[in-house]
Structure 1
Amino acid sequence: MSEVARRRFLQGAGVLGVAGALGTGTASATTRYQWLSGDHHAHTQYSYDGMYTVEQQIRGALRHGTDWLVITDHGHASHEAHSVEATAADLLHARRKFPQLLLWHGMEWNVPGAEHATLFFEDCRDEAGVLRDFERQFDWRLNGAEASSPANEKKALDAIRFLQTKIRNGTMKSALVFVNHPMRNGRVAPHELRALRDLAPDIVVGMEAAPGAQGDGDPLRGPGGHRGGYSNSPGSNSYAPYPPEAYRTYGGFDWMTAKVGGVWDSLLAEGLGWWITSNSDSHFNSRDTIVRVPEPGGQFDLTGKHLDPVDSGPPQVSPPYVDFFPGEFSRTVVGATRRTRGAVMEGLRAGRAWVSHGGLVDDLRFDVYASGGTRTMGGRLRVRRGSDVSVLVKARLATRPNSAGFIPRLRRLDLIKGAVTGRSSSETLATPHVKVERSYEPRWHYAVFTHTFRNVREPFYLRLRGTDGNRGAFEPQADTPGAANPWEDLWCYTNPIFVEVR
């Protein structure tokens, strides 16, 4: 864009007044970080329902620009008995072979009294031993603590205390837990989210905003599929107050995130740092040519590992090939101070991240600034009552075809504002004090927007979402079973920035 055209664009968008902030004035908080794309939820042949070798999963991730990856095979009796050391050995080899990828050995934890969560560590001594010990004691597939009950919910809290003890005694530097696909079965209640977060806000830090299995609703795969695998209705272990519509995805995103004023906003309204991610949950990837080979009966139960799959030649499109490789469709982009595993974990813990589907945007920067300084996603800006607070958004739109072969177009960005009203009931599902404050329509490859809140009097938070608008509406719509091609309904979201007024 020429400088003349750029200035006209800024003026038309009402942002000429921040031109100084884009140059020699207030520096963007986002420029302090390396923005690294990754995935904390992917499976291998060491999951009972997985297929890929560790190296196949890594090669797929690298093809799609992944900077960091957590291998998270399912907790399972055979996994605990046979798979942990074998996975550790494969990952040790992979770290040497692919030094460009930041790689973790984590697990997908079957949370007592709930469903699934990602768990991974930083600088852990005897990582495999700690993972196995944790799995044996606290995974409901091994200890029978699946049912929703106060006793099992306490078991989940005990698991977090186990991690806290390991951190205090120096076994590991830190740990992170993210709740996976929270509304797929409706088994994680609002009070459980709050209890886990309150116990360990430096460990249990957020949830998947969007599940994997994004190709499940694509009509190419036959009728009846549900995007994200969200095909369920309330069951005996579900939280009864969740409405029926909560068990569906909206533009591929979980109801907790997609509903303005819903569960996510109710947590943010309490001033809680509760962050979102988006991940592949890769098991069998759409259009891949790799397939399982015939196995002896009881192969996984006896060995904790499926046989190495092979390349069959033709692309696979029917179920269970409904996932994507890490980075192929879903991205979680984290602001890290260095290109290290510890720095990525610190960025995730701080909420310094945004998520996107289908390559909708190449880059997204979101800062809030006032006389008190500048903050980016996950930050808290402290200002005096009566101050002016400004928002600066920079979006670099896609210029290259995505994995589906087309260049997506970001048609609208929404700036969402919510009031911070303080702690409420642990069962709170919604807050009324949230609205779309302003919307922007990007028209060039590099778009810059701003908005200023004058004379602020009360605390609030801000977050962004964006869409391709392909469904004719700028609010997320419920995905239609068997008719939800994920590439035709793309969204992006940022984590919030809090403004604290004193």
Structure 2
Amino acid sequence: MTHKLKLLTILSLSLSILSQGLPTSAKEADSKNKPETAGKWLKGEYHAHTFQSDDAQQSLKSVLDNAFNKYGMDWMAVSDHLRTSSRDDEGNTIPGGSIPLSQGIIDYQAPKIKQLQDAGNYKNKIIFTGFEWDMPTYEHVGVGILTDKLGTAEGLKVSNQFEYLFTNRDEKMFDPADVAVWNAKDSRAFSTREDARTALSWLEKNYAKTSYAILNHPSRKRVYTIADFRDFNNIAPDVAFGFEGMPGNQMEPDRGGLNLSTPENRTYGGSDYMLAKLGGAWDALLGEGRRFWNFSNSDSHFEISENRLYSSGYWPGEYSKNYTWVQGADMQAVLDGMRSGKSFSVFGDLINALDFSAEKGNRKAEMGENLQVKNKDMLKLTIRFKSSNKNNNGDPVKVDHVDLISGDVTGKITPGTDAYSKSTNDTTKVVKRFTAKDWKMDSQGFYVINYSVKASRDQYFRLRGTNLGVTVEGETLNGEPLMDTKTDIADNETRFTEINKRNYKDLWFYSNPIFVSVSDEKPDKDNH
């Protein structure tokens, strides 16, 4: 059967709606199978693999079963490699040879999700099919493209079009009629650093509010620079709005798979150096006032290989989670929540709820927002968090301390200047370290911290917390996470056990920031 006939068949089944992230066909969904529409915190991630990635060893169903049924996720964006796929979602060899992943989503992944949901699986869950793109000359990028053409050929074909334009797939692997249309509008660009920027510009131009391009495990190969991050965010501020500061693959001997010899390439408390370094790259971006957020993911390929020789990553939701405030019932609402910055990320269920706000009078800002105040105003910062009794490893969970971190905001840096390549924010510091003596439990079971600070300049505030003490040999020094060491044990089963112990004894969470703008003028009522 030709791809065109397959596409028509799929359209007749309304699979395009599912492939764009709705829980099932809009006409077929009943109220029992729709996620609630009220704003609430949802748990999820955008980076997990199936057999349709040639380096993965797990079926689509096993990923969704574990994410939703075992580990309590609310939404999932599957993210197989945007390369050729030789297998279907169950690991069977595709007849006729490898096909582009985007075609594999159309032929296998989207139909399987619909089949599973039609059978009553994953009620009130949001499922989306994104992909992991090999950005030309750089690293991996988690990409998702939603469209307003649900139920149409155009809606299904957008990822196919992206793969044609921005990868080195052979033109013969695509429908000639589609290729003619695409070539009439755009040129292929898949080789240079400028091609990478062209792709982001294409997403911003065509899908500014309906796509994301989040930079995965940014320090793994040390190919991203702070200047690149600034370029990407300048080119596509609505699309390139974050990075995977808490990478997956935590079951690898080198935690997160970051294994080069330089300190900047390693993980610290499981987190990428760009996130974990106080006053480092993330703080440098926040110091410009950029709305650029942190995310965590499983990067799940397999936990332990079938031959019991290697370990890679946990199941989605097993070890890491993103908590995002979502106002709606589909993937567009999730994406809006991700872009808003009202989110936090956590390892090992160290916390399972977090409210963080800054107030002045009747004005209030939460994570991702900006609070406008007058110079010398006293601000009230409120931190409320909860923890589970036990995490998925069966361990009791307890937060040792929470750091309130702040840095100055001085505005966007001009491209081409020396400062544009500076990857530090020298004003960043831990303003206050809170321990159990500083918080009390309220009637809702939240631990509550109140702290007042005088506004004197534009700045941001963010949170970091851990189960570790301020100085723990091999783990922390004066409150800062130390470089993770490789768990290098010859016996495979012993190594797997020790890697898991290593990870669960070293837990962290990070919030996204609140910005504060100081003016001598009377502040506006709007806190955005």
Instruction: State whether TM-score is above 0.5.
Output: yes
How far 1:142 moved relative to its partner? 7.1
1:459 and 1:390 map into 2 onto residues whose CA distance is: 16
Gaps of 5+ in 2: 1-37, 86-98, 172-188, 414-418, 489-498, 520-528
How far 1:69 moved relative to its partner? 0.5
Identity of aligned residues (%): 30
Task: Map 1:7-18 onto structure 2 (within 5 A).
Answer: none
Q: In the alignment, what sits opposite 1:447? A: 447
How far 1:190 moved relative to its partner? 1.3
1:338 and 1:83 map into 2 onto residues whose CA distance is: 29
Indicate yes or no: 2:192 matched with 1:137: no
**Native 8 Å contact 2:190 2:196 kept in 1:** no
Could you tell me which amino acid in structure 1 is paired with residue 109 of structure 2? T
**Native 8 Å contact 1:112 1:140 kept in 2:** no
Task: Map 1:164-243 onto structure 2 (within 5 A).
Answer: 164-167=204-207, 174-216=210-252, 225-233=253-261
Indicate yes or no: 2:107 matched with 1:80: no
What is the number of equivalent residue pairs in this alignment?
Answer: 414
Could you tell me which amino acid in structure 2 is paired with residue 164 of structure 1? E
Q: Deviations over 1:15-60 (max 9, x none)?
A: xxxxxxxxxxxxxxxxx94010101100011001112221111001
1:211 and 1:134 map into 2 onto residues whose CA distance is: 25
**Native 8 Å contact 1:33 1:336 kept in 2:** yes
Q: Deviations over 1:248-288 (max 9, x none)?
A: 000000000000000000000011111000000000025xx
Could you tell me which amino acid in structure 2 is paired with residue 284 of structure 1? F
Task: Map 1:18-37 onto structure 2 (within 5 A).
Answer: 33-37=39-43
Could you tell me which amino acid in structure 2 is paired with residue 110 of structure 1? D
How far 1:127 moved relative to its partner? 4.2
Q: In the alignment, what sits opposite 1:370? A: 360
The SS at the match of 1:426 is helix
Match of 1:475 among 436, 461, 480: 480
- Cα distance change on mapping 1:344 and 1:61 into 2, 3 Å: same
- Cα distance change on mapping 1:422 and 1:142 into 2, 3 Å: farther
The SS at the match of 1:403 is coil
Q: TM-score, normalised by structure 2?
A: 0.74
1:99 and 1:469 map into 2 onto residues whose CA distance is: 37
- Cα distance change on mapping 1:106 and 1:478 into 2, 3 Å: same
**Native 8 Å contact 2:204 2:238 kept in 1:** no
How far 1:95 moved relative to its partner? 4.4
The SS at the match of 1:192 is helix
The SS at the match of 1:481 is coil
Q: Deviations over 1:131-175 (max 9, x none)?
A: 1221122136779xxxxx99722111211232234338xxxx611
Could you tell me which amino acid in structure 1 is paired with residue 255 of structure 2? R
Q: Deviations over 1:97-156 (max 9, x none)?
A: 32321111100011112100111123453444211221122136779xxxxx99722111
Indicate yes or no: 2:407 matched with 1:408: no
Q: In the alignment, what sits opposite 1:494? A: 511
Match of 1:358 among 348, 367, 391: 348
CA RMSD across the alignment: 2.3
Task: Map 1:42-53 onto structure 2 (within 5 A).
Answer: 42-53=48-59
> Which 4+ residue blocks in structure 1 deviate beyond 4 angstroms?
140-143
Q: Deviations over 1:319-347 (max 9, x none)?
A: 1x321111110000001123332221111
Q: Which moved more, 1:113-122 or 1:127-136?
A: 127-136
Could you tell me which amino acid in structure 2 is paired with residue 431 of structure 1? N
Could you tell me which amino acid in structure 2 is paired with residue 137 of structure 1? L
**Native 8 Å contact 1:332 1:356 kept in 2:** yes
2:50 and 2:191 map into 1 onto residues whose CA distance is: 32
The SS at the match of 2:251 is helix
Q: In the alignment, what sits opposite 1:297? A: none
2:368 and 2:125 map into 1 onto residues whose CA distance is: 25
Q: In the alignment, what sits opposite 2:461? A: 462
Indicate yes or no: 2:204 matched with 1:154: no
Match of 1:270 among 282, 288, 301: 288
Gaps of 5+ in 1: 1-31, 144-148, 217-224, 234-243, 293-315
Relative contact order (alpha carbons < 8 A, sep ≥ 6): 1 or 2 greater?
1
Q: In the alignment, what sits opposite 1:70? A: 77
Could you tell me which amino acid in structure 1 is paired with residue 485 of structure 2? T
Q: Which moved more, 1:260-269 or 1:471-480?
A: 471-480
Q: In the alignment, what sits opposite 1:12? A: none
Could you tell me which amino acid in structure 2 is paired with residue 93 of structure 1? Q
How far 1:450 moved relative to its partner? 1.4
The SS at the match of 1:324 is coil
**Native 8 Å contact 1:39 1:68 kept in 2:** yes
Q: In the alignment, what sits opposite 2:112? A: 90
Q: In the alignment, what sits opposite 1:417? A: 406
How far 1:185 moved relative to its partner? 0.6
The SS at the match of 2:128 is strand
**Native 8 Å contact 1:75 1:141 kept in 2:** no
